[in-house]
Amino acid sequence: MKVILKEDIKGVGKKDQIINANDGYARNYLFPKNLAVPADKGNLTNLQSKKSSEEHRKELEKEAAKQTAKKIEEITLKLPVKAGENGKVFGSITSKEIAENLEKQYGIKVDKKKILLNEPIKVIGTFHIEIKLYDTVMAKLKINVVTM
């Protein structure tokens, strides 16, 4: 019997996957626990429309990420910090501070986990860092660290 899974089931399949299940397993376990529905014409149509709307949503997110990437690449983020005589910053600049300043100065909201910073910035100067906005969309941000 072909069924469409409503949830991930270990050893059986993932959500929205169409599988062949034994009749007894489907009728006595999957259907009563609301883990699956029969793969009839109506349910298959619902699954197709759900997948197409999901693809459309992902495409819109990707386009929005491309627009944000274009904005990010055009700007230079200026970060004023306290520093010593030889250009060493007191403390360090982390991805959290970069995300906060990017939102404060330009209104661009980026999750700090998306900022690819190998190690915190500890000296004054100009840096280029990458921000992963979407699976395939990356943006290069120019940061200018200056003394207060």
Reduced DSSP (H G I as helix, E B as strand, rest coil) percent helix, strand, coil of the chain, to 5: 40, 30, 30
- pLDDT the model gives residue 38: 95
Whole-angstrom Cα distance, residue 4 to residue 31?
10
**Under 8 Å CB-to-CB from 76, ≥6 apart: which residues?**
142, 143, 144
- Residue 141 predicted with pLDDT over 90: yes
Whole-angstrom Cα distance, residue 77 to residue 144?
6
57-90 tens-digit pLDDT: 999 999 999 999 999 999 999 999 988 888 888 8
pTM: 0.72
Handedness of CA 16, 19, 23, 26 (dihedral sign): negative
Whole-angstrom Cα distance, residue 32 to residue 22?
15
What are the domain boundaries of the chain? Answer: 2-60, 63-147
Whole-angstrom Cα distance, residue 19 to residue 109?
41
CATH topology of domain 2-60: Ribosomal Protein L9; domain 1 (3.40.5)
- Residue 17 predicted with pLDDT over 90: yes
Rounded to an integer, the average pLDDT of 115-133 is 91
CATH superfamily of 63-147: Ribosomal protein L9, C-terminal domain (3.10.430.100)
Residues written for the chain: 148
Distance of alpha carbon 102 from its chain centroid, rounded? 18
- pLDDT the model gives residue 85: 82
Distance of alpha carbon 90 from its chain centroid, rounded? 32
Q: What is the 3-state secondary structure (H, E, C) of 60-75?
A: HHHHHHHHHHHHHHHC
